[in-house]
Amino acid sequence: MAKYFLVALFFIVSFAPFTPTYACSGGSPITLKDTWHEADTVVQGVIEYADDEGQNGILRVEKVLAGTRVPQRIVLAIYPAADFRRANERFNSGGCWSGVRPFSPHETVVIFLKRLPNGTYDLAQRTSLTSAYYAFPNADSVVNISYTVENDPLVVNDAFPQPYRIKKFNLSQFVQLITELADTRSIQPLMTTPPPLPTTLYIRTINGTEYELPVDFSSPLHIENRYADVSGRIERTGCSTVNCIGTAPNGVDSAQIMSDNTIQILSFVGSRVQGSAFRFSTTSDALAIWDNNTLTLYALPYDRLGFCCFELTFINTISINNDENITDVAWSPDGRQIAYNDAKGLHLWDAFDVGSRPHLLETMNAMSLTPRFFSATGRYLAIQRGQTRLYYDMVNLHELPDGMLSPDDRTLLQFDTWQASPLNLYRLAPFREQNWIDKYNAVRQVEWIDDNRYIAANCDEQQAAECYVWMDSLKTGGAHFKGFMFAYEEVRETLAIAQRNKRIGIFTPTSYNYQVYDLSASLDSEIQAVYWMPPIFYQP
């Protein structure tokens, strides 16, 4: 069959779950041989996991049909989360859809792939006239392959112009076709490799060097341009220093502070406005920008706000006390209210109401006041007063101590977020203080998984051997692992744990698999911080 001049099927796919459905036209037919030459590897496998839109997943490789041998499990990153949001949330007026027929768990596929630097795999071809992905949902499934052979007796499919012909192949026939085309035999994948990470892991060492660990645990990539800001944060939705880049929470839009006291929107060309600092809203559809004496709100081009195209839209502005600049702002969870500070004190502003005036929450005294963030429901506002961190109750203006609030705002795990301290429990509805969590005496980091479960890093620098990361709950307790810092990836529920001697532990609760990896050959010094990079898998 390899003697035929094969042309990939023109798949006509209805993307029913998506809004909108885009189609692209134009281009020339691409042969299977063309696709094979573009591919690093051609594999047969079974989809083990697919994200909510079926555009990314984990493939269990059963056979390597041609090209480079790959691990048994690989990450397919065909249409990453931020790209899907960009197409689905904002550019609804038209364009080209570059996704695929949605992956389905337990489905057998044959797919032509290219490995990306981050260890994920993408389609070998990116055109409208080939998919590089062929699905066999059941034992009787076939795929249609078009080809050109003069005077061939096969019936011409009217959907394709002459001289293209169509022939059906089942799985075994298609696999044989590819191996004949590649002039090789299928082989088994690498069976001893670890399960892939759900996305890349950011690692910063005590020397300040930044790395990105690929999902397949290949050698960490050195990040040339500094990713963290001056405070060490990498999850930044705003900036206040020249050349700093901030990104909206959904990963779609980004902006940069320029040297001429302007803010450049990087996600669409030509939008630049006056300002020295900015922060994207929690809903990712608005931008607060401020300079010496004004705070201005702009809307981004999202249908849900009634705006389109590629520009910022002015919404509202207020004057601020110019004796002291704003140091930061905090957006409420609904993306409507802004807490900010100036020389007068701490204010709350209903930014989308053009007629509203800011409400003064607290008058400035000898100590500075800085808003930090709102809690998940908006009931509490985290602030910093001098060197003290606390929460405002926005209903009764009572104060709560520093710590981490649960997603439902009903429980506070109280500890000092500046330095290691004991962990205490506060029930907030109804309020009562309970100091019965006595297993932690030097907590440095806490993150909630849900309203009941949380993760805590307990590490006394004087007793480094006693550093542990606990996966715990308010009711039953949980597991713990050696380590002094962690990063939790919520889409696939994967926990990365930083350990001494340049080691990273990876725990996956769904499989209860835990493994430690030695990165001493790649890192220039001990690990200082770990974060998960933006997710590959999409969930609403």
The 3-class secondary structure across 371-418, one letter per residue, is: EEEECCCCCEEEEEECCEEEEEECCCCCEEECEEECCCCCEEEECCCC
pLDDT given for residue 366 in this prediction: 66
Q: Is 211 helix (H, G, I), strand (E, B) or coil?
A: strand
What percentage of the chain exceeds 70 in pLDDT?
86
Q: Is 118 helix (H, G, I), strand (E, B) or coil?
A: coil
CA pair distance 112, 124, nearest whole angstrom = 5
What's the topology of domain 241-326+328-367? Methylamine Dehydrogenase; Chain H (2.130.10)
Contact yes or no for 284/267 (Cβ under 8 A): no
Nearest to residue 102, comparing CAs of 124, 85, 128, 84?
84
| Banded pLDDT at 315 (limits 50, 70, 90) | very high
> How confident is the model over 382-431, as pLDDT tens digits?
999 999 999 999 999 899 999 999 999 999 999 999 999 999 999 998 88
Q: What are phi and psi of 67, to 5 degrees?
A: 85, -155
* Per-residue pLDDT at 108 exceeds 90: yes
Nearest to residue 70, comparing CAs of 39, 32, 91, 101?
39
> How confident is the model over 121-160, as pLDDT tens digits?
999 976 544 467 899 999 999 988 776 554 433 333 344 4
Q: Is pLDDT larger for residue 12 or for residue 312?
A: 312
Mean pLDDT of all residues in 361-373: 87
Mean pLDDT of all residues in 44-58: 95
Mean pLDDT of all residues in 194-213: 96
**Cβ-based burial of 196 (10 A; exposed 0-12, middle 13-18, buried ≥19):** buried
CA pair distance 485, 55, nearest whole angstrom = 32
Structure-token pair, residue 330? 């905090």
DSSP state, 195? P
Among 43-52, 111-120, 424-433, name the one with the lowest average pLDDT. 424-433
> How confident is the model over 225-276, as pLDDT tens digits?
778 877 777 878 999 989 899 999 988 899 999 999 999 999 887 789 999 9
pLDDT given for residue 7 in this prediction: 28
Among 281-290, 305-314, 479-488, name the one with the lowest average pLDDT. 305-314
CB contact set of 40 (below 8 Å; sequence gap of 6+): 67, 68, 113, 114, 115, 124
The residue ranges of DSSP E strands in 230-312, in sequence order, are 238-239, 245-247, 254-257, 262-265, 272-274, 277-280, 286-290, 294-299
Q: Is pLDDT larger for residue 503 or for residue 465?
A: 503
Among 96-110, 189-203, 516-530, name the one with the lowest average pLDDT. 96-110
In this structure, the dihedral spanned by the alpha carbons of residues 59, 63, 69 and 75, taken in order and rounded to 10 degrees, is 0
Mean pLDDT of all residues in 99-126: 92
| Banded pLDDT at 21 (limits 50, 70, 90) | very low
pLDDT given for residue 316 in this prediction: 96
Structure-token pair, residue 530? 């770990």
Contact yes or no for 80/56 (Cβ under 8 A): yes
Structure-token pair, residue 220? 């960490």
pLDDT given for residue 72 in this prediction: 97
In angstroms, the Cα distances linking 186 to 38, 133, 176, 389 are 18, 18, 9, 61
* Per-residue pLDDT at 280 exceeds 80: yes
Among 5-19, 134-148, 464-478, name the one with the lowest average pLDDT. 5-19
Average pLDDT, the chain: 85
118: amino acid identity, one letter: N
Ramachandran category for residue 508: left, alpha or beta (phi over 0 → left; psi -120 to 50 → alpha)? beta
* Per-residue pLDDT at 92 exceeds 70: no
Ramachandran category for residue 380: left, alpha or beta (phi over 0 → left; psi -120 to 50 → alpha)? beta
**Cβ-based burial of 315 (10 A; exposed 0-12, middle 13-18, buried ≥19):** middle
pLDDT given for residue 321 in this prediction: 78
Contact yes or no for 53/102 (Cβ under 8 A): yes
Q: How many CB atoms lie within 10 A of CB 156?
A: 14
Contact yes or no for 425/405 (Cβ under 8 A): no
CA pair distance 244, 238, nearest whole angstrom = 9
Q: How many CB atoms lie within 10 A of CB 345?
A: 14
Map out the domains of the chain as residue ranges.
5-182, 197-233+411-540, 241-326+328-367
pLDDT given for residue 166 in this prediction: 74
As a whole number of Å, the end-to-end CA separation of the chain is 45
**Cβ-based burial of 354 (10 A; exposed 0-12, middle 13-18, buried ≥19):** exposed
80-84, 184-188, 289-293, 502-506 — which one is most confidently predicted on average? 502-506
pLDDT given for residue 158 in this prediction: 43
CA pair distance 40, 252, nearest whole angstrom = 29
> How confident is the model over 488-531, as pLDDT tens digits?
999 999 999 999 999 999 998 777 889 999 999 999 999 999 99
Q: Is 47 helix (H, G, I), strand (E, B) or coil?
A: strand
Residue in the block written with tokens 């899907």: 84
